[in-house]
Amino acid sequence: MTHKKRKEYAMRASVLAIGAALAVGQSALAQSGENGGLDTIVVTAQFKEQNVQDAPIAITAVSGELLRARGQNTVEEISAQAPNVTLTRAGSFAGPALIGFIRGVGQTDFNPALEPGVGLYVDDVYYSTLTGSILDLLDLDRVEVLRGPQGTLAGKNSIGGAVKMFSVRPSDEPDGYIEAGVGSYDAVNLRAASNFTLVEDRLFARVSGVFRSRDGHVTTLDYGCTHPGSGFDSQVSGADCITGHEGGIKYGAARLAFRWLPADNVEINLAGDWTDDESEPVANTLLATGPTVAPSLIFPSAGGPPLFWENVAIPGQDVLQTGCMFIAYGANSCDPLSPNDPYVNYEDYKDPVSGYVADRRQYVESKGASLNIDWNMAENLNVKSITAYREYDSAFASAQDGSPFPLALLFQRTLHDQFSQEVRVNGRFGDFADITFGGFYFRANTDFDARVNLDYVGFDFIHGPDPVDTRNMAVFANAIFTLTDRLELAGGLRYSDDKKVYTYRRHNPDGSVIDPCLGPPGTPGNPPNCLISSLDGVTSTFKDDRIDYRVALSYHWTDDVMTYVQYSTGYKGGGVNPRPFYNVQAVSFDPEELKTIEVGAKTQLFDNRLRLNGALFYNDYTGVTATFGDCSAQFGPIFGVPCLLNSNAGDAKVKGAELELDFVPVEGFQIDGSFSVLDFEYKTVNPATGIPLSAITQYTPELSWSIGAQYAYEAGFGVITPRLDISYQDDMFTDPTNTPGSKIDAYTLLNGRITWEDPDHDWALAFEVRNLTDKLYYGAKGEGITGGSGFDNGAPGLPRTWLVSVRRNF
C-alpha cells in the first residue's frame, strides 16, 4: 500500500471511528459520580487545582481506581488509552529504558548525553533519563498525560508533552489493602498499602510496597544442542536445550510517606522510595540478516573450520549463507530445523574469539527522597517548595543479534544522581487573576561505562566511564485572567539556561591505552581499536539559553461546553554525539524546537453522563534529531560506517486530531474511548542524513484508537464487573529512515477482566486475560542491516497471559 493510499485509508477510518465514538457515547476517567454521572476530574497542570474541563490543555487524566480496573501496573501501559501517545519498553539496545513519544516528539536513545522529549514526573519531581523511567504504578491517586509542548508549565524536554503521576497522600482514611495474584509464566504479584495516624489531625504516615515476578516469554536455546553436527558444541545437558529466558521481570519497590500539618495553613509532605529491579534481559529475537562492515567469524568447535556471518565476501572463499540459520521464525530463516517459534533465540552472551562473557542480567536499583512544603501565607498567597534528590545504579547485558555470533555484545552501566529545587509563589487577585512566579534548579551527574564488543566492525573496547554533568536553571511566570464570567486568558513565560559537559574515555579491554593507527582503516598492522584512540580525555560542552511562551484563550459557552485556542512553545536540549567510532564523528547538535497552535473543545453533556473532549493541532517542528546507523553522506565512505550519530535531521510540520470520551449511559455501565490521527511531514531534510522527505518520525503511528467498557452488576452476593479493552495501533517505524526492517506492523490488542467484590467492599477477586487473541506484535525493533551490523532484531510483546488476584481492603 502506497503512502498516499495509507493516508486515504487512515482518513476514512478516522471518520468512521469518530462516528462510532459519537454513537456509543471520552477517555480515561469514567468513574460514577453522584446520580450515576461522571466524577469531577481535578488536575494541576496550570499550577492550580481546577476541573480538567476548565483547563485549556489537551489532558488525559486517569484515576488510580481506573488503572486497577484495567489491570494496568506500569507506566508504559497508560499509552494504550491516550491519543497520540506511545510509551514502550526499549529493545535490547537500550535495556531498562522507557521510549516515550507524544505527537511525534520523543527520544529512543537512553544515553545520558541525550535528552528525552517527553517529561516524566512523580509528585512534581522530574525524572531526567530514559533509564529508570519504567515505573510501577505504585499507590497512585491519578495520572495526567499532557499533550503538546509544556515549555512554560513543565520546562525543558517536555517538548512533546508530559506524563505526571501523583501518589496517594497519607491521611486518616482507613483505605489500606493487601493484594496478591498468580498467573502465566509463573507470575506472582503482591501489593499493599496503608495509612497510619501518628498524631491525630496533625501527622500521618503511609506505607506502600509491591513485588512482581514473571518468567521471560522468550526462550534462549543452545544451538549445538538443537542442531547436532552443526559444529557448535553443546553447552547444556538435557533434552530441552534451554539456556535461559529473556523478558522476565523481578522487582520490588517500597514507598514511605509522611504528611505533617504543623499549622492550619502549612502542609509538609516528606516521601522516600526504593526500587530493586533484577529483571531478565530484554526480550529479543533475530528477524533478518545481512552483510557486516568487517568480516565476522568464529571457530565454533576446537579444530573446526571458521564460520563466517552471512553475505561477507572473503577473498578466495565462497560467500557462506550462515547468519540466517540462526533465525528461529519467519520467512527470513534458512534453517531446515527451525522451531518456527517467534519467541526463541540462540543467544549465548559469549564471544569465543576474545573469551569475553557478558553478565547475563539487567538491574536497576534506584532510590530518592522529596520534600514538599505548601504554605498559605495569606488568604490569597501561597508558597510551594519542592526539593528532591534521586539516584540509581543500572546495568544490562545487550546481546542484540540473538545468535552464537558476538556481532553486538555489550554490558552497559549507568550511575546517576540528581538534585532539583523548585519554588512557586501563587497569588490570587480577587476573581480577576491567578498569578504564579517561580524558579527551578536542576543538577545531574552521570557516569556511563560499557564493555563494547562489536564483532561486526572488529571493535572490542572499554567505553568510559564517561562523566556527564548536566545543569538547568529556569525562572517562570504563569497567569490566568478571568476577563468575563465566561472568557479566560492564560499566559506564561519561562527562561531556561542549560549546560552539559561530556568527557570521552576509551581503553582497551585490559584497561591499557589505545594506540593510534599506523594508517587509514584497513592498514595492515593497525593496533586494535585505533580509530578511537584520540577520543580518550576529550571534553565536549553544550550551552544554550532560551525563552518559551504560551498564551491560551478559553470561552465557556455554557457551564458544560468550553472551547479554547492556544499557542505554545517548547524545546528539547541539544548536546554532543556520545558514541563516535571515528574522531570526525565527535560533533555536537542543536536543540529541537516546537511551536504549536491548538484548538480544542471540552464538553460534559446529558446530565453529566457524557464527557467528550477533542483537539486539533499544528506543530512547527524544527531541528528534529535522530540517530543514524549509516553516516557515509556526512563523513564519506571511510568514516561513515559504523556510526551511531545523533544529529539534527531537518524541519517538519505535524498535524493531528484527538478525541476522548467517557460515557455512563446508565448507572453502573461505563464506556471510555480515545481516537487520534497524526500527519507528520518533513519540510526540509539534511541530504546527508539519508532520510527521505516522505519519512515519518519514529514510534509514531498515523492512526490509533481504543475503546473500553465495563458494567457493574449488583447481585445478592456482591458486585460483578466484567470489563473489555480494545486498542489499535497503526504501522510505525523505529528508524528515522523508515527502512523495512524497522517497521512495526499495525496490531490490535484485546484485554478482558472480570472482578467480584463483596457487599461490604472488603474482599475483591479478579481474573484477567491480556492479549486475548494471542497476537504476535513487537514493542521495539532494531534496524542494523543498512548500517552494516548484519542483523535486524525485535522485542516481541507478551503472548496471551492470564492472572488471578485477590484483594483485601481494610
Q: How far is CA 170 from CA 16, 206, 697, 810, in A?
A: 46, 5, 42, 15
Rounded distance between C-alpha atoms, residue 794 and residue 475, angstroms: 43
Closest by CA position to 580, among listed 617, 531, 513, 633: 531
Closest by CA position to 639, among listed 744, 531, 563: 531
Query: What pLDDT sits at residue 14?
Result: 39
pLDDT mean across residues, the chain = 90
Rounded distance between C-alpha atoms, residue 685 and residue 666, angstroms: 53
Query: What pLDDT sits at residue 749?
Result: 97
Q: Which cell is 378 given?
A: 495569606
DSSP, collapsed to helix, strand or coil, labels residue 803 as strand
Query: Tell me: the pLDDT tens digits for 565-613?
Result: 999 999 998 888 888 877 778 888 899 999 999 999 999 999 999 999 9
> 465 preceded by cis ω (within 30°)?
yes
Rounded distance between C-alpha atoms, residue 773 and residue 140, angstroms: 30
Query: What pLDDT sits at residue 216?
Result: 97
Which residues fall within 8 angstroms of residue 57, CB to CB, at 6 or more apart? Answer: 45, 46, 146, 147, 148, 552, 566
The residue type found at 503 is T
Closest by CA position to 183, among listed 809, 807, 802: 802
Rounded distance between C-alpha atoms, residue 674 and residue 81, angstroms: 6
Question: Which parts of the chain sit beneath pLDDT 70?
Answer: 1-36, 302-304, 310-321
DSSP, collapsed to helix, strand or coil, labels residue 740 as helix
CA 776, 104, 422, 268 torsion: positive or negative? Answer: negative
Containing H/E element for 224? Answer: helix 223-226
Report DSSP state, residue 634: H
> 642 preceded by cis ω (within 30°)?
yes
Q: How far is CA 101 from CA 44, 76, 105, 148, 704, in A?
A: 22, 11, 5, 11, 13
Cβ atoms of 564 and 54 closer than 8 Å: no
651 burial class (0-12, 13-18, 19+ CB within 10 angstroms)?
A: middle
Rounded distance between C-alpha atoms, residue 452 and residue 530, angstroms: 14
The CATH number of domain 3-163+172-215+248-284+347-665+676-809 is 2.40.170.20: yes
Q: Mind giving me the DSSP string for 8-74?
A: HHHHHHHHHHHHHHHHH---S---B-GGG-BPPPEE-TTSS-EEGGG-SSEEEEEEHHHHHHHT--B
Gyration radius (Cα) of the chain, Å: 27
How would you label 583-605 residue by residue, b for 16+ Cβ within 10 Å and e otherwise?
eebbebbbbbbbbbebebebbbe
CA 156, 159, 165, 166 torsion: positive or negative? Answer: positive
Query: What pLDDT sits at residue 637?
Result: 81
Query: What pLDDT sits at residue 311?
Result: 52
Query: What pLDDT sits at residue 35?
Result: 55
Rounded distance between C-alpha atoms, residue 324 and residue 338, angstroms: 10
Cβ atoms of 102 and 701 closer than 8 Å: no
| Annotated domain spans of the chain | 3-163+172-215+248-284+347-665+676-809
How would you label 301-325 residue by residue, b for 16+ Cβ within 10 Å and e otherwise?
eeeeeebbbbbbeeeeeeebebbbb
